[in-house]
Amino acid sequence: MTKNIFKRPDWVPCVPVGMRVLITGATGGLGRALVRMLLKGSTCMIGAHGSSQVLEMEEDRIIPLPKLSAMRTHAANWLMTTLNNLEE
Transcribe 11-35 into DSSP letters.
------TT-EEEEETTTSHHHHHHH
pLDDT of residue 1: 67
The CA radius of gyration of the chain, in Å to the nearest whole number, is: 19
pLDDT of residue 68: 63
pLDDT of residue 72: 67
pLDDT of residue 18: 86
Mean pLDDT by 10 residues, the chain (88 residues): 79 86 89 91 89 81 77 70 72
Cα distance between residue 80 and residue 86, in whole Å: 10
> Residue 24's beta-bridge partner residues?
49
Query: Any idea what DSSP says for residue 41?
Result: H
23 and 35 Cβ atoms separated by less than 8 Å: yes
Predicted TM-score of the model (pTM): 0.64
Per DSSP, helices labelled H in the chain are 29-41, 68-87
